[in-house]
Amino acid sequence: MLALWAGAGGTTSLISGLNAAYHVRDSRPWYKVRLIAVGLTLAISVLVVAALFIVIAGGNVTELIGAKLALGKVAVIAWKILQWPVALSFIILAFALIYYFGPDLEEQHWYWITPGSLVGVLLWLAASFSIRVYLHFFNNYSKSYGSLGVVIILLLRIYVTGLAFLTRGEINSAIEHAAAERGHPEAEPEGKKAA
């Protein structure tokens, strides 16, 4: 419970970063922001950990289960192909949740895919793949740092995930403000509380 409360502090910072990206001031009471942050932290943690598990250990677990249940190689290969879209859908859902509930916007719209979320998810996937390749070829953390190496890798992944979230917010905010300058009727200029 204490870890969830502490993790919500990071989500609160992410909410503040999204409000800054949209150039809006958060008018919600602090306890409401904190409750939203706790809920988002729980939901995002489950989705991101599930996606990371699928990406990192999905192939090995599939081979193990395939051998135990006598599944054919076709089923194992099919899962290895499907693991990426499944992990991607978990991350897209996590992105959609944070952008719907995070910033203090008067008009909230549920978007599964936007230009910013596409860039954010692709950035997250590229970083996850790069970290996986790096760890496959240069895994010296356990020799140098022992079990602390896992914490270092986890913090790096959390940092990259936060960067991907904020990149999406900045891109969508810039598109929104540019559309408002060009006279799009639903777009709001900087500082207005509409998505």
Q: Give 26-45 pLDDT, tens digit per residue.
A: 888 888 989 999 999 999 88
> What domain range is 149 assigned to?
2-181
Query: Per the domain annotation, does 189 fall within a domain?
Result: no
Query: Per the domain annotation, does 188 fall within a domain?
Result: no
Query: Per the domain annotation, does 191 fall within a domain?
Result: no
Q: Are the C-beta atoms of 114 and 195 separated by less than 8 Å? A: no
Query: Per the domain annotation, does 190 fall within a domain?
Result: no
* φ/ψ (deg, to 5) at 156: -65, -45
- Which range is least confidently modeled, 11-15, 29-33, 160-164, 182-186? 182-186
Which residues, listed in sequence order, are joined to residue 194 by a DSSP beta bridge?
Answer: 107
The rounded distance, in Å, linking the Cα atoms of 164 and 162 is 5
Of 42-46, 101-105, 126-130, 184-188, where does the model show the most confidence? 42-46
Query: Per the domain annotation, does 186 fall within a domain?
Result: no
Q: What is the pTM of this model?
A: 0.65
Residue 104 scores a pLDDT above 50: yes
SS3 192: coil
What does the pLDDT read at residue 42? 92
